[in-house]
């Protein structure tokens, strides 16, 4: 088994793609003609966004909307970078909300946390050996 993609359910797919492009320098893969689904190129997996109407139709039930929750959901998108502080500054400058400044963990990894405008919890971290 292999992780194929992560799909984040959002109100505005194009806006989420735009934020992740500007904040983290990710390249757009595609945006569907109806604007309901889009992807970003992130390496061996795909980070995708799907609008709420399409997601609810696919899943067949309701769910917690990240942007409506005062607290982040219990999952994150982790993005590895050599310069966490610089990546965090850029993400905040284009609309992210700071949750935790960069800290170095006991295992040596530097991490910081923010919320994207769509409510997604994002961890910025230095790479770790496999």
Q: Provide the pLDDT for residue 51.
A: 97
- 77 is in which domain, residue-wise? 5-125
The Cα 127–Cα 1 span in angstroms is 23
What's the predicted TM-score (pTM) here?
Answer: 0.94
Q: Return the half-sphere exposure (C-beta side, CA atoms, 13 A cut-off) of residue 121.
A: 15
Is 130 contained in some domain? no
* pLDDT at position 2 over 90: no
**How many distinct structural domains can be found in the chain?**
1
pLDDT tens digits, residue range 24-80?
999 999 999 999 999 999 988 899 999 999 999 999 999 999 999 999 999 999 999
Q: How far apart are the first and last CA of the chain?
A: 17
Residue 107 placed within a domain? yes
| Whether pLDDT at 129 is above 90 | no
Work out the percent of the chain whose per-residue pLDDT is above 90.
92
- Kindly state whether residue 92 falls inside one of the protein's structural domains: yes
> What whole-number distance in Å separates Cα of residue 34 and Cα of residue 11?
13
31 in a structural domain: yes
CATH number at residue 32: 3.10.180.10
State residue 54's pLDDT score.
Answer: 95
């Amino acid at each position: 088994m292999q992780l194929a993609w992560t799909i984040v359910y959002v109100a505005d797919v194009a806006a989420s793609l735009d934020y992740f492009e500007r904040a983290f320098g990710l390249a757009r893969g595609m945006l569907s003609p109806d604007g309901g689904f889009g992807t970003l190129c992130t390496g061996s997996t795909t980070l995708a966004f799907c609008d709420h109407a399409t997601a609810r139709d696919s899943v067949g039930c309701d769910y917690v909307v990240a942007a409506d929750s005062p607290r982040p959901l219990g999952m994150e998108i982790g993005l590895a970078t050599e310069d966490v502080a610089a990546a965090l500054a850029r993400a905040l400058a284009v609309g992210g909300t700071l949750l935790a400044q960069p800290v170095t963990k006991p295992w040596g990894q530097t991490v910081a946390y923010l919320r994207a405008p769509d409510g997604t919890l994002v961890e910025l971290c230095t790479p770790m050996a496999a």
